[in-house]
């Protein structure tokens, strides 16, 4: 199976698909958004600086995020099957990631672009509620994505929270940041021939089927399931 690198507009469903892959296969999930939110939650000075950027829909600096990801990749993800969720988000990040992967000898990768309209992504962001313990996300606008008990995580039993950047106003800025800084990466990977595009505005089963077909280098989807 291939390592997965997600490129997507905000709230396209990177986290939800990552959860699915972690639950069913041997993937390790690295979400740069979660990493940054953990730093914010720690109350550190750096966390305060990060919070100011996230809350206004801006990106943290390439220098900082590359340093954080490089350390994780080399120390925790090396030798494992991994998902990068939220990195790279700029062209310099993508170029640096290539350099890191080459230096680590990691070549079996697929970049997955999640295709979603602005309208749908806005609905997914504004309706999203997240578990502060396990980061699982739910959505109040979709019955199939709602928790069993209103406002409570199915897995952890703790109260769900709204992300500070999931308001309609901040979402608009995040989307614009995506158009300006992240969308150019799509061409970068297209030219390298490793980009797969998946329409995520379909049922979870349909999306899962497409994901499986692009992460498998052989026809082994069922055999490699964790539960088997
Ligand atoms: P996410 O959880 O992926 O939606 O990320 C939440 C926020 O964290 C983004 O809107 C950015 O402010 C910040 N962030 C996450 N990943 C990156 C990255 N690779 N580069 C810069 N900022 C990032």
Model pLDDT for residues 16-75, shown as the tens digit of each residue = 999 999 999 999 999 999 999 999 999 999 999 999 999 999 999 999 999 999 999 999
Beta bridge partners of 159: 152
Q: What phi, psi does 220 have (nearest 5°)?
A: -125, 15
Beta bridge partners of 4: 83, 110
Q: Which residues line ligand 1 (CB under 6 A)?
A: 10, 32-33, 36, 53-54, 58-60, 65, 86-87, 89, 93, 165, 174
Please enumerate, as own/partner, the contacts of 221-224 that have beta carbons within 8 Å and a separation of 24 or more. 224/1, 224/25, 224/26
Distance 187 CA to ligand 1 centre (A): 20
How confident is the model over 138-178, as pLDDT tens digits? 999 999 899 999 999 999 999 999 999 999 999 999 999 99
Q: What is the pLDDT of residue 225?
A: 44
Catalytic residues: 14, 89, 128, 163, 174
Distance 17 CA to ligand 1 centre (A): 17
Distance 86 CA to ligand 1 centre (A): 6
- Binned at pLDDT 50, 70 and 90, residue 99 comes out as very high
């Amino acid at each position: 199976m291939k390592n997965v690198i997600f490129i997507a507009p905000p709230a396209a469903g990177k986290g939800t698909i990552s959860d699915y892959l972690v639950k069913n296969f041997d993937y390790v999930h690295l979400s740069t958004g979660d990493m940054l939110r953990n730093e914010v939650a720690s109350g550190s000075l750096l966390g305060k600086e990060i919070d100011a950027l996230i809350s206004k829909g801006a990106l943290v600096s390439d220098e900082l995020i590359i340093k954080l990801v490089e350390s994780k990749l080399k120390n925790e993800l090396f030798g494992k099957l991994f998902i990068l969720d939220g990195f790279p988000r700029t062209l310099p990040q993508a170029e640096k990631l290539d350099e890191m992967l080459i230096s680590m000898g990691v070549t079996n990768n697929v970049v997955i672009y999640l295709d979603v309209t602005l309208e749908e992504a806005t609905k997914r962001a504004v309706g999203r509620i997240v578990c502060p313990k396990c980061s699982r996300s739910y959505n109040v606008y979709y019955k199939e994505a709602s928790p069993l008990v209103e406002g409570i995580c199915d897995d952890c039993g703790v109260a769900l929270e709204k992300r500070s950047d999931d308001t309609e106003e901040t979402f608009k800025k995040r989307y614009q940041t995506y158009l300006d800084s992240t969308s150019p990466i799509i061409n970068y990977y297209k030219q390298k021939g490793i980009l797969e595009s998946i329409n995520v505005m379909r049922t979870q089963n349909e999306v899962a089927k497409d994901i499986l077909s692009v992460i498998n280098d052989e026809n082994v989807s069922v055999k490699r399931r964790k539960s088997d």
